Amino acid sequence: MEYIVTDLEWDNVYFKPEKRFINQILQIGAVKLNDDFEIIDSLDIIVRSEISNKVTGRFAKLTGITSEIMREGMPFKEAVEKYNSFVKNADVTMTWSDSDLYTILENEDFRLKDGLKFKLNYYLDLQKFVQQELYKRGYESKNQIALEAAADFLGLNTEGFEFHTAVDDCRVSAELFKISYDKARFESLVKDTSDKSFFKRLRFKPYPISDINDTDIKPSELEFSCPECNGKTTRITNWKYINRWFISNFKCQKCGFKFNGRVAFKRTYDEVKVKHKVCEYKPKKRKNNDVQSVSEKV
Whether residue 292 is predicted with pLDDT greater than 80 in this model: the reply is no
CA-CA distance, 256 to 226, in Å (whole number)? 9
Confidence grade of residue 285 (pLDDT, cut at 50, 70, 90): low
Whether the CB-CB separation of 107 and 18 falls below 8 Å is answered with no
Q: How far is CA 182 from CA 34, 113, 138, 179, in A?
A: 16, 39, 17, 9
Whether residue 288 is predicted with pLDDT greater than 60 in this model: the reply is no
Hey, which bits of the chain come out as E strands? 3-15, 20-33, 39-46, 92-95, 122-125, 191-192, 207-208, 233-235, 239-242, 245-252, 258-267, 272-279, 292-294
Q: How far is CA 254 from CA 191, 221, 234, 260, 280, in A?
A: 50, 20, 10, 17, 18
CA-CA distance, 182 to 215, in Å (whole number)? 41
Higher pLDDT: 295 or 289? It is: 295
Higher pLDDT: 296 or 39? It is: 39
Whether residue 298 is predicted with pLDDT greater than 50 in this model: the reply is no
Whether the CB-CB separation of 122 and 91 falls below 8 Å is answered with yes
Higher pLDDT: 98 or 295? It is: 98
pLDDT at 68: 97
Whether residue 286 is predicted with pLDDT greater than 80 in this model: the reply is no
Confidence grade of residue 192 (pLDDT, cut at 50, 70, 90): very high
Mean pLDDT of 231-238: 97
Whether residue 290 is predicted with pLDDT greater than 70 in this model: the reply is no
pLDDT at 287: 57
Mean pLDDT of 136-164: 93
Whether residue 18 is predicted with pLDDT greater than 90 in this model: the reply is no
Length of the chain: 298
Mean pLDDT of 231-253: 97
Q: List, in sequence order, the alpha helices (H) in the chain.
A: 57-63, 67-71, 76-87, 99-111, 126-136, 147-153, 166-180, 183-189, 196-203
Whether the CB-CB separation of 26 and 46 falls below 8 Å is answered with yes
Mean pLDDT of 151-159: 94
Mean pLDDT of the residues in the chain: 93
Confidence grade of residue 282 (pLDDT, cut at 50, 70, 90): confident
Q: Centre a 10 Å sphere on the Cβ of residue 57 and count the other Cβ atoms it contains.
A: 10
pLDDT at 98: 94
pLDDT at 17: 87
Q: Is the pTM value of this prediction over 0.85?
A: no
Mean pLDDT of 249-257: 97
Whether the CB-CB separation of 112 and 77 falls below 8 Å is answered with yes
Q: Centre a 10 Å sphere on the Cβ of residue 44 and count the other Cβ atoms it contains.
A: 14
Higher pLDDT: 295 or 257? It is: 257
pLDDT at 186: 97
